[in-house]
Structure formats: C-alpha cells, structure tokens
Structure 1
Amino acid sequence: MDDQNKNLLLATALSFAVILVWFVMFPPAEQPATDPNAAVTAEATTPVADTTAETAAAVATAVTVEDAPRLTIETPRVSGSISTTGGRIDTLALKDYRETQEEGSDIVSMLAPQGSANPYYTLFGWAPGQGLSIDQVPGANTQWSVAGNQTLTPETPVTLVWDNGNGLTFRREMAIDENYMFSIAQSVENTSAATVSLAPYGVIARHGEPQDAKNFFILHEGLIAMADGELSEQSYGDATDFAVNQREGARAEVTQVEEAGWVGFTDHYWMATLIPEAGFKSVMKYDERRDIYQTETVQPTQTLAPGATITAATQLFAGAKEWETIRAYENNAGVAGFIDSIDWGWFFFFTKPIFWLLHTLNAMIGNMGWAIIGLTVVIKLLVFPLAYKSYASMAKMKELQPQMEELKKAAGDDRQKMQQGMMELYKKEKVNPAAGCLPILIQIPIFFSLYKVIFVTLELRHAPWAGWITDLSAPDPSSILNLFGLLAFTPPEPGSLLAIISLGVMPILLGISMWLQQKLNPAPTDPTQQMIFAWMPWVFMFMLGGFASGLVLYWITNNMITFTQQYLIMRSHGYKPDVFGNIKSSFKRKEKAKE
C-alpha cells in the first residue's frame, strides 16, 4: 500500500467513523405519545423573591383566564392578546412563519393560555415584603382594569391598573416594538400612611415539555440564561433531574446577576426571555408536582414611603431567533450576549463566522442554495495554500514511486531497513508523506460546523434553492423508489426502514462526485483496499441521504472543486491523471472477478 492511499484511506475512514458515531449512535430520541385533549391543571406559581425576613417559598394559586376580558396585540409581525386576569401575555403568533410549507399551513404559535393543550405564558407582579401580605400585591389571579387604549401596537402602548384597597395603586404599562421586544414598566403609588417594601418580578411558565421538542443532542432546547457574560443551559431533562434530586431542599437554580443578563426558554427556532434592568436574581426551576417549568427574574426589594411612587422596568423578547434581529438587540439595545441565544455549540469559533459569511452571501445573491455554493468556493480559496502543498506532495510521491519500489526490493523482508530508506528519501526530496490527508481532515470540522449552522439557524428553515429543493434544512424530497416522481407512488416517510434506500437526486450526485474524485488515482493493488475504496462513495451516499439538502449541496460542490484543483495541480507537476482509464480499469476488474 503506497503512502498516498494510506493517507486517503486513513482520512476517509476517520471521517466515516466520526459521522457514524454522531448520527448512528446518537439518533434523535423518540417522543412518547401524548393526548392533546388531556385535561390541564390550571395552576401557576409566584416567584422566589427577596423579603425582609427570608426568601419566600413558591405558592400555587388557581386561576381562570378563559373568560377574562382581553387586550389585543397587533403588529406587522405578531398577533396575540393579553389577559386581564393576571395581566399575562399568553397568546402570541408569529405572522412571518408557518408550521409547514403546505399551502394554508397554520401560522407559528408561540404562547398559549392556561386551559390550552400546551400552556406557555408570562406573568409579572410584585412579591410582598415588610408591611404587605400576599393578597395585597398583584399576582396570577389579579383582575386588572384597562386604562385607555385596548390594542397594543408599536404606536400605542396599553396600561393596566389595580387598586389593592389599602392605599396602593399598581400600574403596568406595556409597549412593543416593530419586531419581538415587549417593554413592561411596573409602578406602585403609595397613598397610605405606612411604609412598605416589595420586589418586582417576571415569570415565564411552561406546562410540561413541549410536544414538538426535538431532543436531539446537537441542539439545545429548554431553559437558558445569561448572567454577567456566562451562559447557562438546562434541558428539560436536566431541570427535571435537578428537581427530583433536590426534593428535600430548594428546587430552584438561583443566580445573582450583578451587571446584565436574561433568562427564559429557547426552542429550535423560537425563544421567550426576560431581560430586567441591571441587578437581579435569575431563577430556573421545575415544579415536579404540577409539571411546570419556570424561569424568573426577581429585582431588588424596594422601600415605598407614603406619598411616593416606584417603578421597575423589564423587557420580554418573544419571537423568532433571527440572527439580524437578535444581533441588533445586542449591539443597539444593550442586551448583553444575546446572540448566544442561538446554539452555536462548542465550536462557535467556526460556526459563527461560517454563518456570518453564509448570511452575507445570501443577502448579496438572494438565494440560500447559491449562497452555500458561494460559501464552499470561499472556503476552498481560504484553504487553497494548504491544499496546494498537499496535492503537490501527492504528485511528488507519484514521481518517487519508482525509487520507492526499488527500496522495497532492496530491503526485502527487512521492514526497518525499508522504513529508514523511505525516511531518507522523503528528507532528501523534501516530501511530507502525511500531507496528502490534510485536505480531507480539514473538512471534518468545517463539515460539522456547517451541519450545525444548517440545523440550528432559522435562516435555513424552509429556504429554497432551485427546482424541487424547496427547503435546504430538510432532506432531498425526491426518491429513486418512484423514479423521481414519474411513478404514482409516495416514498416512505423519513425514519422508516425503506427511507434508507429512498435516495434522492442529490445524495446520488454526492456518491458519484466522491467516486469520480477517487478516479484521479489508480485503484490500489491490494484487494482489501480495492474493496474499501469501491464501496466507500456508496456507503457515504446512503449515510448522508437523510441529511439536510443544504449540507449535501455543500459536499457535492466541495467534491467537484477538490476534483478540479487536484487534477490541475497534478498536471502542473507533470503527472496526468487518467480518469477515464481508471474508470475503465475498475469495470475490467469487476468483469474478471465475475469470471
């Protein structure tokens, strides 16, 4: 086995092994069947808050929100409503996004009230301190009055008012911008003769784990928080385990945020987070008894003297994780670390610049598929110096082949002598035998970073390329089983056994491109190597057949550029690859094997 084939086999085998571990050993977990009509317990909790004595325990209160009057939320990008029971924002739909690409598909719904199949809502209020009891501050069951405007728009905020009957008047003004950011200003006026203390809070509550959660190891879904530059993540399973393990003590993970931070829930493409003013307690917890996941912000306790008014401000982001929108909130609105709400993964130093370049190319070209092809070209240009040295070394190895054969004959069975002779030859001719595998090895982190980008970023969701490829984040929908649409036969759904052989056009092109790349060099003489090399393109074709078509498009483009680069570099060094001859010889070997 010559060194070139050793390097190629080693690098390809390593790629195969890594992909196999990631996508065969760790498939997405199957979701248990759930009954969407099952009864939902109408309960909510108040937050953990500072008091003058001690931190208050969570208190459950029964609420009814279905029949309460509502305020309408209506902007160019979202629609929803606010219940006057608790003043909660509990219905919200994203007008720019639909559940599927089918005509007439429902608009994506984010928040849902209690009494629905999957309650997910926000609460705001004040935790009682010195001089106050729980019924003297607004909570989840408070019936608010509306002062003035009944519809929340970017131009018209709404105001809720509640008088506790003991000299305290609470007001809550809510505003929304043109995207997904709510601003909530809570104020309290003290007309009594007593000094009191109280702490403002915000809550996002989610009843049960979302039915559409992917539970895929490459993607974080669940509770998420940023505290003074440190990102914390809890999956739903982690939060559940934490609660179970802490039954005898506190069931909340509490973090003191000194400067800036936020906390909430993140889904695959959507997110709801609370962003208070500087200095607050961030809470992530799971209520095992009620099956409620909850994130909270508790701001410092304030003292309210007679005749005085205090105000606390909090922002709520509830919407799509659009890179440009989130980055603008971070850069222009001071939401520290907000871009990290997108799950860039451990290799963020690859995924962030790769997505930035992809996004920039898409803005210039106007098509994400062509942007992926452009990204591939740029990456190949960046690594071209390394590739040139590698391919030049491979070409030089070809030139040294006669001398290497002579060394093997002279050494006979003395392997140590042969290796010493090879090393002297490499040193003399300034050849690095390991250089041949570098172009393939460098593709491994790039490949996985691009896979991460395509899988987690919203911008690839339902992004079309050309022809039948209408969603680059999904597998190629064509199928060889129905002759790519010529037969009146619906191919099997992804996840079924037959789906493995239901290859689309792009996976087949991927296999062909890998096969052609192999034909730049003659097949190895060793029969075992011949078999491995013969099967490898087609094994990869089946393995990657269910991957996102955007990733397959990248790999096809990369293979074709690599083929062209390697062919031209080898020609420039005096070696003319006989591609057609190598193809013919591979078929001749098969004919001999049959005989």
Structure 2
Amino acid sequence: KTQFKLVPGPLKMADGQDNLTVKFEGESGGVKVVKSFTFERGHYGIKVSHEVVNNTASEIKPSVYYQLTRDGEKPEGESTMVNAYTGAAVYTDKDKFQKVSFSDIADGDKDFQAKADNGWIAMIQHYFVSAWVPTQGVERENYTNTVGEKLYAVGSIQQMDTIAPNSSKTIEATLYSGPQDQTRLDAIAPGLSLVVDYGWLTFLAKPIYWLLSFLYGIVGNWGWAIVLLTCIVKAILYPLSLAGYRSMAKMKDLGPRMKALKEKYGDDKQRLNMAMMEMYKTEKINPVGGCLPIALQLPVFLALYWVLLASVELRDAPWIFWVTDLAAPDPWFILPILMIITMVIQFKLNPTPPDPVQAKMMAIMPFVFGIMFIFFASGLVLYWLINNILSIIQQYVVNKQIEADRIKRQSN
C-alpha cells in the first residue's frame, strides 16, 4: 500500500512521436520501485516494467503482482439475448485456455494450472479484454480470489531474482486492454485470441472469421461482407441441402393425396399411418429425409452465428441507411419484419404438417422468432434474413422441378 508518485515528464504523445513512457516511484523500508508504462501509438498493448532498487544492507528477493479486478456484472447495455462470456481466464501451454467464472472464484474452485513459467491471465467481457502477459520462461503462480462484495480478481505472482544491496533489477510484462481484435491479440501472446469465445465450434468458426475478414477487405463494409459470406456458405452447403429441399417438395406435391387419405380413414390413425407409409414407399420418399442435411449443416450455422456475435469489428459498423451499428438491434425493426415475411413464405412453400396442432405451431413460429429477433444484433438478423431469402429461392426452384416432373409423368 505504498504511495506511488508520478515522475515529472510528458503525459501526451507529441505529433510524430510513436511511444510515450510514464513513470511512477514508490519507496518503503529502503527499497524503491519504479513502475514504467510505455504506450505505443495505435497499439493497445502497454509495456510495463518494474525496476526494484535495493538501498538496504541485505539482499532481497521480491515478487511482482500482476492482478486484474472486476465486478461480477454484465457489461452495461448488454442485450439479454446475448450470452457472451464475462469472467476471468487463465492460459498456459499445458492446459491451454481455461475460463474461471466469477461463481468459481467465489466458491474457491481453482481448476487451472497454478504453477507455470508461461501463459497469461485475463478478464473478459463481450468485445473487450484486459490481460497481463508476464515475462515468459520465468516461474509464476496464478491465483484467483474475491476482494470485496461482488469484486473478483485474477492474478499472477512472479518472483524476481535475488537483488544484492545497492543494486537493482528490472522485470517486464505486457498489459493489453482493448478490443478482442484477433490480429492484435495474436501479436501480443500465443493463444490470446482465444478470448474471442467460439466454444467447441472454434475449429469451424476460425476459418469462417478469416473468410469474413477477407470479404471485408474486398468490399470495405461489414454488412455487405456478411451478405457475401452467407451466399458463399449457402452455395457450399447447397448439395447437402438439396436432398432436404427435394424431400420437402415431394411432400408438398403429395398434399392432395394426403388430404384424401385423411378423409378416407378419418380418426383411424393406425390405418392412416400405414397408408401414408405405403404412399411414401411407392413414391420413394423419406419423410425425415430433410432432417439429416439440416443436422449436418447446424454446426456450420452455429459457428457462423458465434462469429457474428463475437466479432468486435461489427461494433459501431454501419451497413446501409438506417443500420448504423451491426452489433446493435435494428432501431426501426425493419430487418425483423422482413425476417417474419420470409419465414411465412418458407412456411407456405413447405408441406403443411398433417397434425393440426403442429400446423398451427408452425404457422405462429415466424412471429415468435420475429419478436425474438427484435433484440438481436442487426448483423445476426441480416445473416438469417439473407439465408432465408436464398433458402426460399432454392426451395422454389426445386418445387417447380418436382411439379414439372409430376406433370410429365401424368402426361405419359
């Protein structure tokens, strides 16, 4: 709790100057510590050095504490529909990236590597991170604890070499405090870009993020990059989706015959099901044929969802006209309304479920999702909207092909 005083010197980076060092000094019991913070222009990484001067008659072996403290609340203004991680993290070469939630800290759970000579510690919230990266190759002890009511700390204690009387030694670290920009984070420390949380879908999300960034480099607009990315993903997955579209189209084509069977067998569900299965067998239709392609595509769509949710580049990024922030909900609700319209069209293109209750549920789903999407980031709604439009086009084309095949068979 020694008081540190500012060492006189410039506090503003002059024009043409690329770095600035600000120093503080404190002294207690004959030991002086000089903390130096070196800022670089256009860089969120701060070089922090501790020079320890031993003015006593005995040798000393001091330790440096690198600590980050945060309250347990979600970031101000965070949408209730966003489930981004807020909490501490520890990274080591052995155990890699490990989250340490505030509840774990409060309970005293320490499921991370405490002793290491590498890695970093961090406090994470949506879009931003603060991290200490101590000198690598020097033994340190990682720790977490509560430091007050709803105040949580993650830290690393690094021991310095023995300092003889009337001599000094310096130890350095990097303090990053800024956006979760993966390029910047990778330049600071190995594994630091993992704070951009894609969960178990990281292996898919990483290449999707790379493609999104590449498209932005071409069009210079994150909104249009999302549109192009959705088109590319949809085109790649089209062969997989085609089986599902065909199954849906054939099921819709059998609508009149399905209705006739229901009228014929009435409430006899057993005979109705047998007749329907016989009809599917005759027409070579798998009633669940559209489920497998959707299941196989789901990880890709979820990975894309998390990329759009976690990318700080979308924050304050405009698209067109009324959409001035792709990370914020649509202020005019235009995208959610268009979403509802496209989902209603999709419902009309697909076969009506034979169960009346299920049919009613499917009919109201577009409006339920539309209300939910009011609270989602515009970039996410834009992705789903473009995906829906492309699905409508693909399903419409397949429906026309199936209808043409049916007419051709009947004419023969």
Normalising by structure 1, report the TM-score: 0.58
Partners of 1:533 and 1:375 in 2: CA distance: 28
Superposition deviation, residue 336 in structure 1: 2.0
Superposition deviation, residue 403 in structure 1: 8.6
The equivalent of 2:4 in structure 1 is 142
Aligned CA distance change for structure 1 residues 522 and 391 (closer, same or farther; 3 Å): closer
Conserved? CA contact 1:322–1:458, under 8 Å: yes
Conserved? CA contact 2:72–2:87, under 8 Å: no
Match among 154, 157, 172 for residue 295 of structure 1: 154
Aligned CA distance change for structure 1 residues 431 and 204 (closer, same or farther; 3 Å): same
Conserved? CA contact 1:227–1:257, under 8 Å: no
Conserved? CA contact 2:248–2:350, under 8 Å: no
**1:558 matches 2:387:** yes
Conserved? CA contact 2:241–2:294, under 8 Å: no
Match among 169, 175, 195 for residue 38 of structure 2: 175
The equivalent of 1:549 in structure 2 is 378
SS in 2 for 1:173: strand
The equivalent of 1:88 in structure 2 is none
Conserved? CA contact 1:282–1:298, under 8 Å: yes
Superposition deviation, residue 466 in structure 1: 0.9
Partners of 2:88 and 2:395 in 1: CA distance: 47
Partners of 1:150 and 1:369 in 2: CA distance: 39
Deviations 1:32-62 (A, max 9, x none): xxxxxxxxxxxxxxxxxxxxxxxxxxxxx4x
Conserved? CA contact 1:387–1:438, under 8 Å: no
The equivalent of 2:114 in structure 1 is 256
Superposition deviation, residue 197 in structure 1: 1.7
Identity value in percent: 34
Aligned CA distance change for structure 1 residues 555 and 208 (closer, same or farther; 3 Å): closer
Deviations 1:95-148 (A, max 9, x none): xxxxxxxxxxxxxxxxxxxxxxxxxxxxxxxxxxxxxxxxxxxx4x234645x6
The equivalent of 1:364 in structure 2 is 218
Superposition deviation, residue 181 in structure 1: 0.6
The equivalent of 1:571 in structure 2 is 400
Deviations 1:419-456 (A, max 9, x none): 67766775676543211244555565555444433333
**1:505 matches 2:363:** no
Partners of 2:317 and 2:100 in 1: CA distance: 29
The equivalent of 2:132 in structure 1 is 274
Conserved? CA contact 1:145–1:162, under 8 Å: no
Conserved? CA contact 1:450–1:551, under 8 Å: no
Q: Which residue identity does 1:232 align to in structure 2?
A: Q
Structure with the larger helix share: 2
Match among 226, 233, 236 for residue 99 of structure 2: 233
Partners of 1:173 and 1:525 in 2: CA distance: 73
**1:197 matches 2:61:** yes
Match among 164, 168, 171 for residue 312 of structure 1: 171
**1:224 matches 2:108:** no
Q: Which residue identity does 1:472 align to in structure 2?
A: L
Match among 370, 377, 380 for residue 231 of structure 2: 377
Q: Which of 348-357 and 362-371 deviates more? A: 348-357
1:112-191 aligned within 5 A: 139=2, 141-143=3-5, 145-146=7-8, 151=12, 154-161=18-25, 166=30, 168-178=31-41, 179-190=43-54
Deviations 1:456-476 (A, max 9, x none): 321111221111111222222
Aligned CA distance change for structure 1 residues 423 and 345 (closer, same or farther; 3 Å): same
Query: Unaligned regions of 5+ residues in structure 2, if any?
Result: 408-412
Partners of 1:314 and 1:505 in 2: CA distance: 48
Q: Which residue identity does 1:223 align to in structure 2?
A: A
- How many residues matched? 399
Partners of 1:413 and 1:209 in 2: CA distance: 56
SS in 1 for 2:389: helix
SS in 2 for 1:302: coil
Q: Which of 411-420 and 536-545 deviates more? A: 411-420
The equivalent of 1:116 in structure 2 is none
Superposition deviation, residue 276 in structure 1: 0.3
Aligned CA distance change for structure 1 residues 380 and 336 (closer, same or farther; 3 Å): same
Conserved? CA contact 1:222–1:236, under 8 Å: yes
The equivalent of 1:462 in structure 2 is 316
Conserved? CA contact 1:224–1:263, under 8 Å: yes
Superposition deviation, residue 561 in structure 1: 0.9
Conserved? CA contact 2:51–2:170, under 8 Å: yes
Q: Which of 278-287 and 211-220 deviates more? A: 211-220
Partners of 2:57 and 2:166 in 1: CA distance: 8
Query: Unaligned regions of 5+ residues in structure 1, if any?
Result: 1-60, 62-138, 330-334, 479-503, 579-595
Q: Which residue identity does 2:322 align to in structure 1?
A: W
Aligned CA distance change for structure 1 residues 523 and 184 (closer, same or farther; 3 Å): closer
Computed over aligned residues only, the root mean square deviation of the Cα atoms, in angstroms, reads: 3.9
Partners of 1:432 and 1:414 in 2: CA distance: 23
Partners of 2:366 and 2:27 in 1: CA distance: 73
Partners of 1:354 and 1:391 in 2: CA distance: 25
Q: Which residue identity does 2:49 align to in structure 1?
A: A
Deviations 1:56-109 (A, max 9, x none): xxxxx4xxxxxxxxxxxxxxxxxxxxxxxxxxxxxxxxxxxxxxxxxxxxxxxx
Q: Which residue identity does 2:146 align to in structure 1?
A: Y
Q: Which residue identity does 2:203 align to in structure 1?
A: F
Partners of 2:195 and 2:367 in 1: CA distance: 38
Relative contact order, CA 8 A, sep 6+: which one is greater?
A: 2
Aligned CA distance change for structure 1 residues 576 and 555 (closer, same or farther; 3 Å): farther
Conserved? CA contact 1:215–1:221, under 8 Å: no
Q: Which residue identity does 1:473 align to in structure 2?
A: A
The equivalent of 1:336 in structure 2 is 190
